[in-house]
Structure 1
Amino acid sequence: MLCHTTDLIEASKRPQVLHKPSKPYQKRIRGHEAGHSSPQDRDWPPERLRISPSSYTAEERAASSTSEKNVDPLEYWTRTKRWPKEYFKQDSQVREDLKQDSWLEEQMEQSSIPVVQYVEINGMRYPRPVKKVPSIRWKQSDTGLTGSSDQKKRESKSASYRDTLYKAFLANKGSYMHEFDDDDIPKNIEDLCQTLLERDQTVPQNSLFRDDIFKRICREIEDRNEAMVIKDITWLIVPSAKDLAMYGARHLDHLIESVNEAWTSSIPVEGPRPQPDYSVGFKRSAFTDEQLKRLDTLIGSAFHTSFFIATYRMYFPFLTCEVKCGTAALDIADRQNAHSMTLAVRGVVELYRAVKREKELHREILAFSISHDHRSVRIYGHYAIIEEDKTTFYRHPIQAFDFTILGGKEKWTAYKFTKNVYDIWMPIHLKRICSVVDEIPPDIDFGIPQSASFPQAQTPQPSNAESTSMMREDDSQVASQDVTPTTSFSQEAERVFKKPKNNRTLRPRR
């Protein structure tokens, strides 16, 4: 027994050995299969003594730091008590994965979608404007500015829509990217779409769609980016309302269009606020002074969001166009349009609901969207299904075609359709909206200053701290009033994410 104990003591005094694999460990690359082997299959080299870090001279440590890439990682850890720097560098696959997932991070950091509250007056329920939440994470693309990174901005704004789950997110909020019942298309929808498709219209005589150069331009824009497709093709698919008005269509003077401008005054349904490549709505000049006075009560100031406007210039948007290029690109464009047009239809429904006339809008097309790339076009009409207090949103596929085939037989189809929307459908839609606005009492007071409803150039923008203060004061006013919580679609749009306690959304990104 004594001899055995002595042997153990002597063995403990011997230097420990380190087993080193025959090949250095390699960093696992995401997306590639790594080979695995059992411990019995490994070839181990002869034992070698572990050398303590203190036994290295300064020169040896300096030399080893310059050859981190070639040293065995275990041996390097033994000497320096840290891993080689190369193990902390992102490879190309990791960077790509982070880029693809960044939209979810941004969505989580955004402020929660506000819950609209209703004020009940004389038996009518009116949605109250919601104070905008200040955000330091402002982007140039929100104002439609362009530059050298324009393509990256376009990709960034559609990041959330690239996820195929976005369709399910919309459905969870009551907006469906299909018909309500494919076997029962109402006659009013069928007749309207047929009229808009078949009514003849004039087309430009000298354009890139001219017969003798049409095939050439189709070849030129193949494999080009979205900006190039918009420049050469979009305005021949969806004519500009402003340009038509400038060339003599005076009934379009009351329309306003936006290009790549975020709908910062709207209340989104799911994800970030829409930012269509092209959208059309009504100017303030489309309404009388008395109607504007009634509307301003429901819309609030430039520092509020509401159901009824996209930007502080655009009231009741009714047309959007999204342009995409690449694999499955039109599906992404369809998701963007579905979100935008859900907001557009919801605004008209909520206006009618305020005066208890919402049943008139049941299965009536209230907005249109067009998605296209360098050769294909999809046209949709958007409508609501209204059942008592419940409102759900659907879309009707009007036409889908490839305008490059059959010698360009369908190249003017979308152009003529859009002009018919401007000439035939839009005036009726405006009268429909105005008839309801006239029923809104002029004396509703939510405590919103009317003078701030349309900002002047010299009005200074409040700082983030001031905006936050106004928002808190506004919230306190809501709590003190007799309000009814939202029970319609706005309630379904409430965020499931809670605001971080550290108020992360107000911190600038470094």
Structure 2
Amino acid sequence: MVAVDVNDSDYREFLRYRNIHIEHKEPPTKLMQQATEVIGRSRESPKMNDAAAHELIRTIGRLQTADEDTVNRGLAPNIVPSISQVLEERLESFSNQLWFRAVTVPVLPDFLDVPSLLLLPRPKPDFVFGFSKLAFTTRQMGSMLHLVDDDFEHSYALPDQKTCFPFLVIEFKSQAKKGTHYVATNQTASAGAIALNGQLELMRRSCSATSLDTNLQRFFSVTIDQVYAKINVHWVAGNPTQGEPYSFHVKGIAGHFLDSVERARAAADAVENILDYGVNTLLPGICDALDAYKTAMAAARDGL
């Protein structure tokens, strides 16, 4: 079946058929406050030093007419220092990996019988960050390998078979080649919804929560071109126990023009802060849920 083009003007309509929305509603106040605090935290030792920041500004000047791949190669090592440096061992990062094993977000029941409904293209982020297999115990990895759908054995936890529970994607665009943050956000919205849906499924199977904590930010994205870096938070709304299906949302929470050392460093610091947040805040909850899922599977097997 044919997939809709992410550049099409009606692409967001196909997102809405799956209850995925961009700039559609305001996040919960507490989530917005906490997300802003996460990305804005001052770092005692920024990975982008003064020399790197000045070099980035010069590089941006040289990339004004460059294509997307050249912009990516030129900006990524500085704006996203963790790409070119050794990651904390509990983190994993890959570039341009197709999410070929991902469980896709289902179409809403009211649209299941629409004959002309196109698929969404599978995400292939410029960069994705999630957790490495070293972040989990053998028991937890065993739980993760059971976290698949019944029909195709696609994974809720490992959409690209390498990155466990991704929580940050980054997309680069070139203004010179008519690349836009609008299209980049289209791409990140689909990836974010898939990742959040995977976390929802883990919680459902682990019986660790009857409803999702909508105040906890579980996924971020960053879109970058030669001029501007935009940071988005992705979150889940709804409560099926009250008859309201889960919906997936994207909201821009910060932006930085890349025209000064201070602003360029702020963008780089935001990315590093998100990575720290993933390890320190998201990972423990995921580990607990994987342990609970293992216990639930054992109880079901033993007929308890």
User: What band does the TM-score fall into relative to the shorter chain?
Assistant: 0.7 to 0.9
Distance of 1:399 and 1:376 partners within structure 2: 11
Contact preservation (8 Å) 1:208, 1:232:
no
Structure 2 portions without partners, runs of 5+: 106-118, 299-304
Distance of 1:391 and 1:378 partners within structure 2: 25
Distance of 1:243 and 1:415 partners within structure 2: 13
2:302 matched residue in structure 1 = none
Contact preservation (8 Å) 1:349, 1:358:
no
TM-aligned CA deviation for residue 264 of structure 1: 1.1
| CA 1:224–1:434: 2 relative to 1, 3 Å | same
1:430 aligns with 2:283: yes
2:124 matched residue in structure 1 = 275
TM-aligned CA deviation for residue 424 of structure 1: 3.3
Contact preservation (8 Å) 1:321, 1:370:
yes
TM-aligned CA deviation for residue 187 of structure 1: 2.0
3-state SS of 2:233 partner? strand
2:216 matched residue in structure 1 = 364
Distance of 1:358 and 1:284 partners within structure 2: 27
| CA 1:323–1:290: 2 relative to 1, 3 Å | same
| CA 1:232–1:241: 2 relative to 1, 3 Å | closer
Structure 1 portions without partners, runs of 5+: 1-106, 111-158, 246-251, 446-510
2:172 pairs with one of 323, 338, 347: 323
1:399 aligns with 2:264: no
| CA 1:439–1:242: 2 relative to 1, 3 Å | farther
2:12 matched residue in structure 1 = 167
Q: Deviations over 1:328-350 (max 9, x none)?
A: 52111110011111111111111
- Return the index of the structure with the highest Cα Rg: 1
| CA 1:386–1:353: 2 relative to 1, 3 Å | farther
Q: Deviations over 1:466-505 (max 9, x none)?
A: xxxxxxxxxxxxxxxxxxxxxxxxxxxxxxxxxxxxxxxx
1:258 matched residue in structure 2 = 94
Question: Which range moved further: 221-230 or 421-430?
Answer: 421-430
Contact preservation (8 Å) 2:6, 2:121:
no
TM-aligned CA deviation for residue 192 of structure 1: 3.5
Contact preservation (8 Å) 1:383, 1:395:
yes
Distance of 2:51 and 2:294 partners within structure 1: 49
Structure 2 length as normaliser, TM-score?
0.82
Q: 1 or 2 for the larger relative contact order (CA 8 Å, sep ≥6)?
A: 2
3-state SS of 2:85 partner? helix
Superposed, 1:79-478 pairs within 5 Å as 108=2, 160-181=5-26, 185-200=28-43, 201-205=45-49, 208-210=52-54, 213=55, 215-240=57-82, 243-245=85-87, 252-269=88-105, 270-299=119-148, 304-326=153-175, 327=178, 329-354=180-205, 355=207, 357-389=209-241, 390-404=245-259, 407-441=260-294, 444=297
Q: Which amino acid aligns with 2:226?
A: H
Q: Percent identity at matched positions?
A: 21
Q: Which amino acid aligns with 1:307?
A: Y
3-state SS of 1:428 partner? helix
TM-aligned CA deviation for residue 214 of structure 1: 5.1
Q: Which amino acid aligns with 2:127?
A: Y
3-state SS of 2:168 partner? strand
Q: How many residues align?
A: 277
Distance of 2:278 and 2:131 partners within structure 1: 14
| CA 1:443–1:393: 2 relative to 1, 3 Å | closer
| CA 1:411–1:169: 2 relative to 1, 3 Å | same
Distance of 2:186 and 2:128 partners within structure 1: 15
| CA 1:268–1:217: 2 relative to 1, 3 Å | same
Distance of 1:295 and 1:408 partners within structure 2: 42
TM-aligned CA deviation for residue 358 of structure 1: 4.6
Distance of 1:214 and 1:314 partners within structure 2: 28
Distance of 1:224 and 1:242 partners within structure 2: 21
TM-aligned CA deviation for residue 169 of structure 1: 0.7
| CA 1:236–1:216: 2 relative to 1, 3 Å | closer
Structure 1 length as normaliser, TM-score?
0.51
